Structure 1
Amino acid sequence: MNAVEAKTRLYRMLRRWPPQAVLLVTFASFYFAIGPGNYFAVDEAMEQETAQALILRRTIDIPVMPDARFGRGQTFYTVKGPGLPLVSLPFVYLGLKLDDAIGSMNGGQLAGPPIGVAEHPLRWGGRLAISASLIVNALVGGAIVAVLFMVGTQLSPKPRAALLMAIAAGLATLVMSEATHFYQHALDALMVILAFWFFSVKDPGELSSSAIFGGLSLGVAILARPDAVPAAVVLWLYGAAVAWKLVRTLDDRWSRMIRRAGLATVGPLGAVAGSMYFNYLRFGSVIQFGYTEDRARFVLDAGQIAKAIGGYLVSPALSIFVFAPPLILALALGRRAYRRWPLETVALLSAATAHLLMIASNKTWGGDLSYGPRYMLEAIVLLMPLTLPAFEMAADFASRRAAIAVAAVVFLGFVVQLIGVAVYVTVNEWDRTAAGIVANNTWVFVPSASPIVYDLRELVAGRNLSPWAIRALSIPDAALFLLIILVVIVWLGSRRIFQYLRAPEAQLANRSSRALPIAIVSAAVLPILLGFAMARPVIEAPGIHAYKLLNAGLAEQRAGHAVAAEESYALVLSLFPSNEFARYDLGVLNQEAGRTNEAMALYAGVLRQDPNFTPAKQNMEYLMQTRSGFTNLHRR
């Protein structure tokens, strides 16, 4: 089958899909294509390392890194929730298999070079396990766009406007930049808007299933981000109000409501139980969440809360209206939305406000190192349906001024998001931190400290460019083939979406179904259940644990499984930083992977501890003489 035939078959397949499925696939492909392919951010690293630990060792201990917490077995654990690591298990497993098949810690142009501080024994990047984990957020971002379309078709009789609203959310809000990274915020946002869709059921016969899947959606949101609880409570109550409106005239209304309440509570209660078990695995206590630093605490400080609310509304660095300009339309036409959908509008506004108040109570409400208000992604997604009246006016060309306003805010948001995905945000954040402008959230109100300004400066200078597509185009390999596939999918999907926009309204309205939302929830819940079933606490003494890890690393290294071996050695160094054997073996792995500078730094560390460690001395002398080739490589 040639390329033309493959393209034709793919296009025919897309024609049979409903709009929401096309939106999911098209936007997910777009997000992955413009993403970095690798990363170096502590939050991301802890998430992926936790999933990888489950796959490799059935435990959740990770190598020492900033923000990791000391816990069971004198080792370290993520401080983040279990939701995203567990959801990503299938993709991290796939990436590990690809790493084993290639036999290197350098995953080519897709994964790129290792990124991170040289002093750390384990540097992220270059691994296909990391590239594969980034697929998760691309899919989540695509799913947000798809679900927003479905929410729009529930609220509006004009599916074309719903489609435009969903596209705007995918291109002109923080959904776009967050879908290219591996943070928990996108999963949280997807699940709360999905719960809203399920709870907006209009058929009493679907009340039980909607309660189950809506509750499960809230449960996954809580596992992803515990601060999703306030919004989850509001949405649960909204679901109860909708259910009461459906059954209040029926004879068995109370039994139906009790059943609905029980079914909708299964997910949130399961999330609470799962979070407590995760705490037990990490710290040996079900009530210890790991947030022990003063900066991570929640406080009832009216001044701080007011400052945080002001920052998220009007500041140049965090305002949701700067990083999601379409929300300006919700301000302009909010009264019209309330008149048409009073219950839904109150629910969405209340959930977004509850989330804002929760975040504003955190001492680090500014997000420290971030591109825009990533803590507020949940609220941004919840508020997007309230822009529907503006998109209805634009879709019908009822008002030329409305069409121009909609086009302007979408274009502005798209430019802001392009800046965010174009460069490595974290590198710029290091510069901002070094300049002393990040401390105490004061930078939020300084226009020159806005991440847009920093990122735009780097983009104009052509420095620090992020997308893996640039690497794929510079040196053709398998990554270029993948990029071509993604471009074709995006092109064909975009054509199909354009056809939907030109199609009669009835054609779009009749293509919606419950299959995709149920599939999304199932795809999240099943790996979570599997992950909890796999997980075991570290119960061995540190010395015994380190000995087993060292032997496991040697076995993996001899078998050609470089990534798994690297993990084991890094964990040994987390337990015993002076272990010269683990440091030396890490040096050999880096030398075999062509990471000459990293190998020399590791050998130098060994020789500082033991100047008579002959293999390290010989390998280092060889590298200093040749800077290439491994024919004289000495193993332990």
Structure 2
Amino acid sequence: MIIPARKIRVPGPVLVPWLVSLLLFSLMVYGGVRTPDGEVVFRVGESLAMNGTFAVEKDLEAWPDFGLPRGCDNRRYSGFAPAQSVLLAPFIRVASCLNQTRWYEYRRIPISFAADGFSFRSYILKQRPSDMAPHALRFLVSFFTPLVSSLVVVLQFLIIRRLTGSPLAAFITALLLGLATPLWHYSGTMFAEPLAMVFVLLSFYLISPRKDLNTFPVSGKAVRFLGSGLLLGLAFTTHITAILMTPFFLVIAISPWARSKTGFWENRWICARVAAGFTAGTGIMALLYGIYNYMRFGNPFELGRQTAEGVAYGVFTTPWEGLAGLLASPGKGVFWFCPILIAAVFWWPYLHKRYRYLSFVIIAMVLFRLLFIACRSDWHGGFCLGPRYFLMVLPFLLIPIGCRLADFFAGDRPPGFWRPVAAGAFLFACTVQQLYFCLGEPISFYYMLRMVNLQQGISIIANNQIYFQWSASPLVGLFDGRRGPFLLQSVPLGQWELLALCAMALALVTGLLTFYLIRTKRKRYT
């Protein structure tokens, strides 16, 4: 007797991946702000919460003139997009109220690297700063990013379930995005990519096709596509590189009618209305962003990156170094830091078979992003883990894995044994690698490496040489630095011992899950 595939169920289809990812993201969080980028975003949010203005009172003490150029009124404004600072403001307000109780006085709080001019020095020397209030404030607010990142996992689940019709495939793919990609590490930083991913995935969800359905109901389409455009606009007001996705999302939005049997010409007015709704949404956000820039710098196209005194921001250049760095360098190579993409490439035909047009659009979107970023002198994204600017397209690159898993669960042949075990072992290895990145501290690793070399008169950031040297790569030397998660600081084990213990726990869970999947499918043929 064959049991229909729809009988396979995952309890709490949305709640389970959200809780699992939120728990593990919070477990691995550093508990502070580690980068000057994050510090700028935090200070703008603090200014909004306390003073009701985007202007920041003072420059970063440890990084003078970084990210805070002077505007038309001679006050300092952020060179980064404002959406994350706006959302951080209420969190900062609540955290400030909690700080008035001085709860942190006798507790061990992680040191934020740029809270004042001596913070990173205190971190290096393992000294407790005299004033812990700024660090306690950043500690409380740092849990904003794990919460946001867990929403990325939930949205990936919803998208894969819609595309494949398989809740189980969606469940596994969503957890792989959260635990087998650098998203796990970035959930513990104040970088804007996780929040931008939330808006991007929400926008895509509104225009993505359903399983076995190549069109949408006519009713309500105006709101659907206007909303998708607005959400994508929120994404590039969070991180400006999200704007690179605009033309590709527009193609996805109109494709059900452009590719219908009646043809594009017969549906040209529907396509025009869809395009107008989507473009209106992105246009509204672009207009608001332009007004925001004009009020700060007197130019709607000035983002604040060309007026920073003494800071050389990225400029356009030839793409050869960037392409080599993004694809193969030991410091930023995407396949080194996210090897699960190898499985995605190998299983790409499963997506191509289901959604041929979506497959082509995603390939074009990824290649366009790769080439654009490679043409920038700041292609590396600075001192961070791997190719940070590629994080936003990872959910789309994992869609083939969801399609493959859906075919596996719905197949009409009994499964083998070794192929699922081999696939499970590879995905498990990818998760262990991301666990390695989370247990270490990649950002301070880079800063300490730079300091050691500067003492010898060597500038390893010159010509981006640091990203092309294996000796300077977090892939091999990360555990020579500090431990990252604040919750695990007091665990009396070395880094490798702790990694082995966590890996064994992951192996047990992965093994049980693989066994359950194989056994469940075999029951269909008994």
Q: What interval of TM-score do these two structures reach, taking the shorter chain for normalisation?
A: 0.7 to 0.9
Contact 1:231 1:354 in 2 (8 A): no
Alpha-carbon distance, 1:498 to partner? 6.9
- Does the CA-based 8 Å contact 1:161-1:392 persist in structure 2? yes
- Where 2:398 maps in the other structure, the secondary structure is helix
Report the equivalent of 1:168: 176
TM-score (norm 2): 0.78
Shift of 1:259: 3.2
Counterpart Cα distance in 2 of 1:42 and 1:251: 51
- Secondary structure at the aligned position of 1:74 is classed as coil
Are 1:320 and 2:320 matched, yes or no? no
Write the letter of the residue equivalent to 1:232: T
Counterparts of 2:102 and 2:115, CA distance in 1 = 24
Which whole-Å deviations, capped at 9, do the CAs of 1:525-583 have from their partners, x for residues lacking one? Answer: xxxxxxxxxxxxxxxxxxxxxxxxxxxxxxxxxxxxxxxxxxxxxxxxxxxxxxxxxxx
Q: Superposition pairs for residues 560-599 of structure 1, below 5 Å?
A: none
Shift of residue 139 of structure 1?
A: 2.0
**Structure 1 residues 346-387: Cα deviation after superposition (integer angstroms, max 9, x where no partner):** 122222222222211211111221111111101222211122
The one-character-per-residue Cα deviations of 1:128-153 (angstroms, maximum 9, x if unpaired) are: 43234323321221122112222212
**1:177 positional shift:** 0.7
Equivalent residue runs for 1:228-267 within 5 Å: 228-245=242-259, 253-267=267-281
Name the amino acid aligned to 1:145: V
- The answer for the alignment partner of 1:438 in structure 2 is 461
**C-alpha contact (below 8 Å) 1:114/1:124 kept by paired residues:** no
Contact 2:31 2:139 (C-alpha < 8 Å) held by counterparts: yes
State the structure with bigger RCO (CA 8 A, min sep 6), 1 or 2: 1
Q: Which aligned pairs between 1:190-229 and structure 2 lie closer than 5 A?
A: 190-201=198-209, 202-204=215-217, 205-229=219-243
State the alpha-carbon separation in 2 of the partners of residues 129 and 117 from structure 1: 10
1:32 to partner: Cα distance: 1.8
Which residue pairs with 1:299 in the alignment?
316
Matched position secondary structure for 2:347:
helix
TM-superposition CA deviations, 1:177-233 (whole Å, max 9, x none): 111111011122232233222111443235333213321221111111112212222
CA distance in 1, matches of 2:132, 2:245: 34
Larger mean CA deviation between 17-26 and 82-91 belongs to: 17-26
Q: 1:147 aligns with which of 152, 155, 176?
A: 155
Give the total of aligned pairs: 461
Q: C-alpha displacement at 1:49, in angstroms?
A: 0.8
1:423 to 2:440 alignment: yes
What is the distance in 2 between the residues matched to 1:216 and 1:48? 24
Q: 2:474 aligns with which of 440, 451, 469?
A: 451
Aligned equivalents of 2:40, 2:330: Cα separation in 1: 29
Contact 2:104 2:132 in 1 (8 A): no
SS for the counterpart of 2:188 is: coil
Report if aligned partners of 2:115, 2:134 keep a CA contact under 8 Å in 1.
no
- Structure 1 residues 455, 170: CA separation in 2 closer, same or farther (over 3 Å shift)? same
The alignment's C-alpha RMSD in Å is 3.4
Structure 2 residue 413 is the aligned partner of structure 1 residue 414: no
| Contact 1:325 1:413 (C-alpha < 8 Å) held by counterparts | yes
Return the offset for 1:84.
Answer: 1.3
State yes or no: 1:337 paired with 2:351. yes
Q: Structure 1 CA distance, aligned partners of 2:220 and 2:520?
A: 28
Q: Which moved more, 1:391-400 or 1:185-194?
A: 391-400
- Please state whether the residue corresponding to 2:254 is helix, strand or coil: helix
- Determine if contact 2:31/2:143 at 8 Å carries over to the other structure: no
Taking the aligned partners of 1:203 and 1:218, their CA distance within structure 2 comes to: 20
Note if 1:286 corresponds to 2:300. Answer: yes
CA 274–19 in structure 1, closer or farther in 2 if over 3 Å, else same: same
**Aligned equivalents of 1:401, 1:298: Cα separation in 2:** 49
Q: CA 1:222–1:132 in 2, change beyond 3 Å: closer, same or farther?
A: same
- Residue matched to 1:619: none
Select the residue among 483, 496, 513 that pairs with 1:465: 483
What residue in structure 2 maps to residue 628 of structure 1?
A: none
Greater Cα shift, 322-331 or 410-419? 410-419
Uncovered stretches (5+) of structure 1, i.e. residues with no partner: 1-14, 459-463, 475-490, 506-636
Q: Report the alpha carbon displacement of residue 390 of structure 1 after superposing the two structures with TM.
A: 4.1
AA at the equivalent of 1:429:
Y
For the 8 Å contact 2:31–2:138, the answer to whether it is kept is yes
Partner secondary structure for residue 337 of structure 1: helix
**Structure 1 residues 360, 245: closer, same or farther in 2, change over 3 A?**
same
Output one character per residue of 1:457-506: Cα deviation in whole Å (capped at 9) or x when no partner: 23xxxxx22212135889xxxxxxxxxxxxxxxx9xx99x979x87999x
CA distance in 2, matches of 1:368, 1:36: 19
Structure 1 residue 245 displacement after superposition: 4.4
Are the counterparts in 2 of residues 324 and 413 from structure 1 also a CA contact under 8 Å? yes
- Greater share of helix residues, 1 or 2? 1
> Is contact 1:368–1:438 with CA below 8 Å preserved after alignment?
no
Distance 1:373 1:386 in 2: 21
Mapped pair 1:186 → 2:194? yes
Where structure 2 has 5 or more consecutive residues not aligned to the other structure, the ranges are 1-8, 120-128, 210-214, 454-458, 493-505, 522-526
1:117 deviates by: 8.1
Q: Which position in structure 1 is the counterpart of 2:145?
A: 137
SS of 2:142 mapped into structure 1: helix
TM-score, structure 1 normalization: 0.65
SS at match of 1:367: coil
Partners of 1:194 and 1:217 within 8 A in 2: yes
SS at match of 1:76: coil
- Is residue 393–residue 402 contact of structure 1 (8 Å, CA) maintained in 2? no
| Matched AA of 2:45 | A
